[in-house]
Amino acid sequence: MADDAKPRQTKFHGRVPGERPCSEPGCDAHGEFRAPPEDGARSNFNGPGDWRWLCLDHVREFNSRYNFFNGMSAEEIQAQQRPYAGWERETRAFTGSADRPPRWADFIDPLDAIQARFQRLHQEDRKDGRPLSGENRKDLKLLGLEIDVDRRALRQRYSELVRQYHPDRNGGDRSFEKRLSDVIGAYQRLKGAPAFA
C-alpha cells in the first residue's frame, strides 16, 4: 500500500459485519449493508420483507440512484411533500389504560402482593364512557356524589351544599367559608369537565 493512499474507513452506520456475499453479480466482496430488493417489495403486514446484502461500493451506488418518489404521480408526490403529511391520521386517545393489571387467571398470588398494587391504580369508569380525570373524581367525592352522576344531579347537590354552607342561609355562621369555597371550586371544575358537557 502506498504512503499517499487513504486507509478504508471501518465504521459506517448500518454496517452488519458477516460472511455474506454481495448480491451484485460478479462482486466478490462481503455484503455488509442491507438494501431493499430490486423488485421493489417493501415491508408489509408479514414483516420487513427480504433484503439484499451489498458491499460498501454497491450500497453507495444503490443510494445514489434511489428515488423515494419513483412510480408516483404528480399528485401523490405533492401529497408526500406537504409539511403536515402523515399528521392528519387519527390516533388512539390515551386514557391512562397503560397501567392496567394483567389477567389474573394466569397468576397464583396467595399474598395478594401483585393485585393490591393494581387495585390502588384501577379507577372505576363511568357507565356512559365519558372520561373523568383524577381531579374530577376528587371533586365528586368532595361533593359526596357517585361517579355516574348526571349534570342535573350535580347542579342539585351543588345548590344543597351552597344553602348549607353559605352564611346568609345558615344563620351567619362563617366557620364553613373554606368548605363553601371548596364546593364552589369543585362545581366550577366539574361543570366544565367533558363528563358533564
Question: How high does pLDDT run on average in the chain?
Answer: 78
Residue 34's φ and ψ, nearest 5 degrees, are -85, 145
Regarding pTM above 0.85, the answer is no
pLDDT higher than threshold 80 for residue 85: no
Of the candidates 154, 110, 161, 107, which has an alpha carbon nearest to the alpha carbon of residue 130?
154
d(CA 106, CA 118): 16
**186 contacts 179 by C-beta, under 8 angstroms:** no
CB-based contact 47:26 (threshold 8 Å): no
Q: Which helix (H) or strand (E) holds 138?
A: helix 134-143
- CB-based burial label for 12 (10 Å; 0-12, 13-18, 19+): exposed
- Cβ distance 58 to 21 under 8 Å? no
Residue pair 104/115 in contact (Cβ under 8 Å)? The answer is yes
**Contact of 22 with 55, CB cutoff 8 Å:** yes
Mean pLDDT across the stretch 68-88? 80
Residue percentage of the chain with pLDDT more than 90: 12
pLDDT level of residue 8 (50, 70, 90 thresholds): low
Buried b (16+ CB within 10 A) or exposed e, 106-144: eeeeeeeeeeeeeeeeeeeeeeeeeebeeebeebbebbe
Q: Under a CB-based contact definition with an 8 Å cutoff, are residues 43 and 49 in contact?
A: yes
Domains (ranges, CATH) in the chain? 12-71 (no CATH), 134-196 (1.10.287)
* Residue type present at position 140: L
Question: Which of 39, 59, 58, 63 is CA-nearest to residue 49?
Answer: 39
Please determine, for residue 147, whether its predicted confidence score (pLDDT) is greater than 50: yes
| Burial of residue 176 (number of CB atoms within 10 Å: 0-12, 13-18, 19+) | middle
The pLDDT score that the predictor gives to residue 1 is 46
